[in-house]
Structure 1
């Protein structure tokens, strides 16, 4: 029997799977999760196997691989992935693993190549994954066609790249159609990454997402962000004041006249797209609320477009304004360690130092990211205590957190059930 089959049959996480399913089935809805979900190594491995190896993940932007041979890489747990623009202009994704002896092919975060060449023994692959060269030492009967790179599911829309390691990924078409619609005015084929940052937070990835899904903490923690941001989550926010509702109605009329989509759209609890006003008199998430880039994005004629907010669980949130956009990617590293990558997008013809100053463009979210890092890390330290027990979320202030935890619990239970069924089939 293949040793890999033995590993599947003798699942070392089987007790953890059963315990996790029981904890989720009996959890108290509207409360934070039991402690192991935030700090246990076995449960982290389940998160990686049942969420990050099975769901669609935001990987990057198509503008990052603009021409043939451009590539980006990312690490999904122990799974390195390379995403490359092929000869045909199509976006391909592969396991970043040479079919010879398993070395990583592309070792940098991004780059441009004519072919994909393994640095270990120079096995060479076409940009569509076909093995082209393996050296003469493999023998005259060696079949190149049997050793192409292993593909990874990849889909693109509205400038976004999503990947899934699953054999049968969940449906994503509705999100892709929504992204094309909402981002059409931004002409996402003509944007570029002006600047980016990556920070590592000493906190579980779910705490990073939970922190993002509420603004209960904003007034006490984010002075820079609140120079422009309304604390209301969307136009349906139960806390919305009459003045805010009146502002929303007026702005929606203006956006309609411009042909700019604003309608609140939810796709289950996984995805949400909505355009909401910024504070009166501000048009961008900058320190003074004024445009951070003189050249507007796409075909937009006004900077005063509020912020188009896009949520994609489990690993991304985004803000689109008239002058620039800020996109975020969350990737777990360990039970109490998470990498948050932030990219600021501008029109591809915007000139650094003329149209925008990278330091000024990123100042608000650099400060906000660092503040959120400290909040998440203090949250993690408290949760690690023997004194921690699940606490209640506010249905008014933290309804977004409740939705996230509900989504996570539902997907974990469903994916755990499927894994159990597959294991039973394998065991005969």
Structure 2
């Protein structure tokens, strides 16, 4: 099992634009370092806020060693807590989603208000101070319908992301006008970094994703953008059209490429990710101006990539389980008033990405199986086809090098 110094050495010796070493995709020590330096410190996409629309609605997730509970309070605010009773540590909520009037520990019935305050603890004595045993909070923000959590004591700044994401999401109406139509969770037997690398390129799409490629171009020029006025002619024309409709669409990103937003057209004016290329939902989301508005693509390292279309949205969340296992959850969002069987057919809504997710699972698992071999050695990325992978791996390497590098020793007085 690698220690931090050995991980840092492998990161430091990586040639530019090359994949990572076998250990960084397979080793338990490297996986633990990823958890401690990234997953326990960065903002993570958790759920769409429409998943818990009413008081007492909750959702849970597992981030490494930490079970997390997200709940909507009586004041309408969404909060996150460590899903751990302050008595003897029982998980308060074991289901993925649910609803409750109060948070009641199933072990000894300690009872908490939805804001985390301890309300009831039986037979604890007259000197017991309930105010000292409220639930431990987790940082939580709702950015116009996307809920992010951060386990760090002091989270990194999120203002720059919020400034861009909030207006870009507004036309989709996620905050007030959406609901979850379907949710799917799979486990890919591959390292979390391989899952993201696979997502960040379409070099493999024509050979792996026949249904997706009916509407989504595998031309790298359709995802390569250098700024709000630097893209392929087709994308620039689409951005001009969106500008005239008052819909944010142009490329915007964080300097280190941890996140990126841009709306791109689908192939041949396709309306949605469907086998027919037509809208899957007759009722468009929020204030979308046209059925062929393309896809607002938003990724945020390390935990999410997303597509916001005119008729529905698809949000993806990944969570690491082990060095070679990753949970991938996909949720399809539609207008809150859309009726299944009338306004949309669930099979037609979900079939393209259910197939694509399973195809990606097989690709990632075979990738992991090959990397397990002692014969594996890092290979070069295509600067034409795999620019997105380069962005991700460079972000990962730079962040880990900075966080694993010991602080300089204090000069002797």
TM-score by length of 1: 0.91
1:317 aligns with 2:305: yes
Compute the RMSD of aligned alpha carbons. 1.8
1:277 aligns with 2:265: yes
1:359 aligns with 2:372: no
Alignment partner for residue 331 of structure 2, among 333, 343, 347? 343
Q: Could you report, residue by residue, the CA deviation over 1:292-323 in whole angstroms, capped at 9, with x for unpaired residues?
A: 00000001231110111001000100011100
Shift of 1:272: 0.3
- Provide the residue aligned with 2:32 in structure 1: 45
Q: 278-287 or 305-314, which moves further after superposition?
A: 278-287
- Provide the residue aligned with 1:3 in structure 2: none
Question: SS where residue 310 of structure 1 aligns?
Answer: strand
Q: Which structure carries more helix by proportion?
A: 1
- Provide the residue aligned with 1:158 in structure 2: 144
Shift of 1:416: 2.2
CA distance in 1, matches of 2:316, 2:114: 27
Within-5 A mapping of 1:10-409: 16-135=3-122, 137-188=123-174, 189-232=176-219, 237=224, 245-268=232-255, 269-409=257-397
Shift of 1:65: 1.2
CA distance in 2, matches of 1:250, 1:270: 26
State the aligned residue count.
404
CA distance in 2, matches of 1:116, 1:138: 18
Shift of 1:421: 5.1
Is the CA contact 2:259–2:298 (under 8 Å) kept in the aligned structure 1?
Answer: yes
Is the CA contact 2:220–2:385 (under 8 Å) kept in the aligned structure 1?
Answer: no
CA distance in 1, matches of 2:155, 2:402: 13
Shift of 1:22: 1.5
Is the CA contact 2:225–2:251 (under 8 Å) kept in the aligned structure 1?
Answer: no
CA distance in 2, matches of 1:120, 1:280: 57
Shift of 1:158: 1.9
Question: SS where residue 289 of structure 1 aligns?
Answer: coil
CA distance in 1, matches of 2:143, 2:397: 27
Q: 25-34 or 94-103, which moves further after superposition?
A: 25-34
Shift of 1:233: 5.2
In structure 1, stretches of 5+ residues that fail to align are 1-12
Question: SS where residue 403 of structure 1 aligns?
Answer: helix
CA distance in 1, matches of 2:39, 2:237: 41
Q: Could you report, residue by residue, the CA deviation over 1:233-253 in whole angstroms, capped at 9, with x for unpaired residues?
A: 5667289xxxx9333233223
Q: Structure 1 residues 312, 201: closer, same or farther in 2, change over 3 A?
A: same
Q: Could you report, residue by residue, the CA deviation over 1:271-295 in whole angstroms, capped at 9, with x for unpaired residues?
A: 0000111011311111111000000
Q: Structure 1 residues 64, 206: closer, same or farther in 2, change over 3 A?
A: same
Is the CA contact 1:39–1:204 (under 8 Å) kept in the aligned structure 2?
Answer: yes
Is the CA contact 1:271–1:311 (under 8 Å) kept in the aligned structure 2?
Answer: yes
Q: Could you report, residue by residue, the CA deviation over 1:348-394 in whole angstroms, capped at 9, with x for unpaired residues?
A: 00001100111110100011111111110010010000100010001
Is the CA contact 2:220–2:384 (under 8 Å) kept in the aligned structure 1?
Answer: no
